[in-house]
């Protein structure tokens, strides 16, 4: 999974996370949302199968009026 943030003035940030980060328990354990963990595991395996069959895809691509852009690629 890749998260890209770019600004109109040229500042760019690119963060790469493994797809497995969706099911990391640390995100759910410390936020008292362990009830969402089983759902996150199901989403992870569904995404993994989809990527295997169809390849990577853009989940979010947002651009504001000033030209800043946020893109999440799975």
The more confidently predicted of residues 33 and 2 is: 2
- Please report, for residues 15, 39, 41, the alpha-carbon distance to residue 31 in angstroms, rounded to integers and kept in the order given: 22, 15, 17
Per-residue confidence at 9, pLDDT binned at 50, 70, 90? confident
Mean pLDDT across the stretch 45-61?
91
User: What pTM does this model have?
Assistant: 0.66
The more confidently predicted of residues 14 and 28 is: 14
């Amino acid at each position: 999974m890749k998260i890209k943030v770019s600004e109109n003035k040229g500042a760019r940030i690119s963060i790469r996370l493994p797809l497995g980060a969706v099911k990391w328990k640390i995100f759910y354990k410390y936020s008292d949302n362990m009830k969402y963990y089983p759902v996150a595991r199901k989403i992870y395996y569904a995404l993994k199968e989809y990527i295997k069959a169809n390849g990577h895809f853009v989940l979010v691509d947002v651009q504001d009026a000033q030209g800043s852009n946020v893109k999440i690629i799975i």
